[in-house]
Each structure stands twice: as structure tokens, then as C-alpha cells.
């Protein structure tokens, strides 16, 4: 069983750009996520008081704690914006996490995200600058290394630990791999062996068993789930009960999936009706595996408002219930 990040967080929702907004975080917390992160937030954008960037920091009603992930490469900007975030969120801020793992071209060409793995001295400077500017925990999330075959993560983690980081999250792929191949658990284990701060294991946790295996194989203190939570907030309750050695909760039915999608759409709409279009990709994930999912996917793409989603969800529920009555499910 995972020891826990900062004592108590065992299963975390990963930062995911375009996905981990306040609505999705709410559903994951309800299902048992111990800690959730914002999408990555541009430190530069915050420094320009960009409204869209600031919007990413808004919490859901009743959201008590969040990790805020910043990306950037200028130590002074990162530090001043981390301090600003701490001022705004106060004790709701669990940690400032530094993105050192994003491999997207538009990020790394600016020297941000996983490009920092190529410049460990700069990465250290960023961590110490933030460390000096905030009183909350400071964490960093990175990959196995930059170029395939060149595993720098253990040494990188050590340097960041010396620079004052309170915990690290490791995704066991190289940056140049993007999402190809498997996340390497050995790399996470080697980071765990290299540092004394807590290590969060990340990569390819799709089931409760994956989480148990990740902890058993690496000794990591907590697990972080990204794609496995898409359309599947239940993964958090499943992992939690596995960690507690309890019977797994019942798998969600087709109806549960659609009702979760409906709540998701309502939460998005309540915050900002314009953000309901975000529901298209979530709805695709919720219906994956349901009967006639491909037809549903076509209809999802035509939805732009909450009303349209609600009507579609009604139709899907009626359809799966009719199939169930005819014993075709």
C-alpha cells in the first residue's frame, strides 16, 4: 500500500491541459481522489494578468485543496507567480508543482516543460527560486529523461531535492517517446532509490491492479492517474479500496456512466456555458464501450449546449435500457 504523499495523499489526479478543470476535479474528488492538480498554467501568462490563464486557477465550489502546476523557464517569473498564486489561494493551495515533463512541441521549443530536463542547472534554479518565494510545498513533475535511452531522472531528482523540492512525480517515459511504448516502472523505482523526498509514480495506471503493481514494483509513495481517469472518475474509488484491501466497488453501469456525464456537463455549464463544448471529448470517453458507441460519438459532435447534451443523454439512457429489457446488453 502506498505510504502517502505528504502523509496522506495516495491517489492523485494528474494535471491535464484541457481536461483537469474544476468540473472534472469535482467528480474525481467525489470518487476519492486525495489530491487533484490544475491544468498546467503559464507563469508568463499569469504575469501578464491574462484572464484566460487566471481562469485556470478558479476552484470549484467546496474544493478545499488543489495543487497548481506552473510551466515556464524563467526563475524570477516562476517564483513571483508562484507567490501570487499562494496569495490568491491561501491555505487551499496544497503545492506548487513545476511542469518539467510536457513534451509538446510548442512548449519545449520555448524551453519549458520537458526541455528543462536538458538543462538541470536551470531546473534547479527554478526550484530554489520558487522555494524561497512560497511557504507551501514545492513539487516537480518530470519524465524518465529527455532522449530515448538516456535515463537522467534519478540524477535529476537528486539535484531537485538538493534545490529544495518537497516531492517529485515521475512519468516513466522519455520526453521524445511522447506517449509511445510503456511507462517504465524501473525508472520510477530508481528515482525512489535516489531521493528521500516522497516519489509519486505515474504512467499507465488504468485499473486498481495497475496501481497496486506500480506501488509494489517501485515503492512509490503515491500514484497519479491521468488518462485512466478520462470518462472514468470511478478509478479513484477503485484504487482506494484496493489500497485498503477491500472488495472492489461495483463497476459503473451504462446508466451510471451517462448520469456521470450529465453531471459533468451541468458542472461545466454552471461555471461557464461556453465551456460546455469541452464536454464533447469527455462524453466520447464516457460512452466508450457502451453499445452503439460509434453512433453516439457522431451525435456528441453535434452538441454545443447543455440542453443538447441533456437530450442526447436521455436518448442514450432510453436506448441502453431498451436493450437491457430485451436482454441484449
Interface with ligand FMN by CB under 6 A: which residues? Answer: 14-19, 39-40, 69, 99, 101-102, 141, 171, 183, 202-205, 225-228
The string of DSSP letters for 189-247 reads HHHHHH-SS-EEEES---SHHHHHHHHHHH--SEEEESGGGTT-TTHHHHHHHHHTTPP
Cα dihedral sign, 266-268-272-273: negative
Minimum Å gap between C-beta 19 and ligand FMN is 5
Do residues 146 and 185 lie in contact, with contact meaning Cβ atoms separated by under 8 Å?
A: no
Minimum Å gap between C-beta 224 and ligand FMN is 7
* C-alpha angle 8-196-203 in degrees, rounded to nearest 5: 65
Q: Which residue from 156, 143, 171, 161 is spatially nearest to 197, judged by alpha carbons?
A: 161
**Is 28 among the catalytic positions?**
no
How far apart are the two ends of the chain, measured CA to CA in Å? 36
Residue closer to ligand FMN by CB (options 235, 316) is: 235
Minimum Å gap between C-beta 230 and ligand FMN is 7
Longest Cα–Cα distance in the chain: 65
Task: Catalytic residue, from 28, 102, 136, 303: name it.
Answer: 102
Residue closer to ligand FMN by CB (options 225, 320) is: 225
Residue closer to ligand FMN by CB (options 130, 205) is: 205
Residue closer to ligand FMN by CB (options 95, 320) is: 95
Minimum Å gap between C-beta 202 and ligand FMN is 5
Active-site residue list: 102
Amino acid at each position: 500500500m502506498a505510504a502517502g504523499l505528504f502523509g496522506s495523499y495516495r491517489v492523485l489526479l494528474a494535471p491535464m491541459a484541457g481536461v483537469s478543470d474544476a468540473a472534472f476535479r469535482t467528480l474525481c474528488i467525489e470518487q476519492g481522489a486525495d489530491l487533484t492538480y490544475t491544468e498546467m498554467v503559464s507563469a508568463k501568462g499569469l504575469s501578464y494578468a491574462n484572464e484566460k490563464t487566471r481562469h485556470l486557477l478558479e476552484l470549484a465550489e467546496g474544493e478545499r485543496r488543489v495543487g497548481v502546476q506552473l510551466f515556464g523557464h524563467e526563475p524570477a517569473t516562476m517564483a513571483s507567480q508562484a507567490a501570487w498564486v499562494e496569495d490568491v489561494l491561501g491555505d487551499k493551495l496544497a503545492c506548487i508543482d513545476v511542469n518539467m515533463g510536457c513534451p509538446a512541441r510548442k512548449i519545449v521549443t520555448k524551453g519549458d516543460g520537458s526541455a528543462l530536463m536538458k538543462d538541470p542547472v536551470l531546473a534547479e534554479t527554478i526550484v530554489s527560486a520558487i522555494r524561497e518565494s512560497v511557504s507551501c510545498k514545492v513539487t516537480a513533475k518530470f519524465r524518465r529523461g529527455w532522449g530515448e535511452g538516456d535515463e537522467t531522472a534519478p540524477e535529476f531528482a537528486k539535484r531537485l531535492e538538493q534545490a529544495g523540492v518537497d516531492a517529485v512525480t515521475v512519468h516513466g517515459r522519455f520526453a521524445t517517446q511522447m506517449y509511445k511504448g510503456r511507462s517504465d516502472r524501473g525508472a520510477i523505482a530508481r528515482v525512489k532509490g535516489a531521493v528521500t523526498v516522497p516519489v509519486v509514480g505515474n504512467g499507465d495506471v488504468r485499473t486498481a491492479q495497475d496501481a497496486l503493481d506500480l506501488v509494489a514494483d517501485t515503492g512509490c509513495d503515491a500514484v497519479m492517474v491521468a488518462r485512466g481517469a478520462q470518462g472514468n472518475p470511478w478509478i479513484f474509488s477503485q484504487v482506494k479500496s484496493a489500497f485498503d484491501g477491500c472488495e472492489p466497488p461495483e463497476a459503473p453501469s451504462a446508466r451510471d456512466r451517462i448520469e456521470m456525464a450529465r453531471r459533468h456537463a451541468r458542472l461545466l455549464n454552471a461555471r461557464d456555458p461556453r465551456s460546455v463544448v469541452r464536454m464533447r471529448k469527455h462524453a466520447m470517453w464516457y460512452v466508450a464501450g457502451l453499445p452503439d458507441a460509434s453512433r453516439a460519438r457522431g451525435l456528441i459532435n453535434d452538441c454545443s449546449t447543455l440542453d443538447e447534451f441533456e437530450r442526447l443523454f436521455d436518448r442514450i439512457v432510453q436506448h441502453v435500457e431498451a436493450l437491457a429489457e430485451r436482454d441484449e446488453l
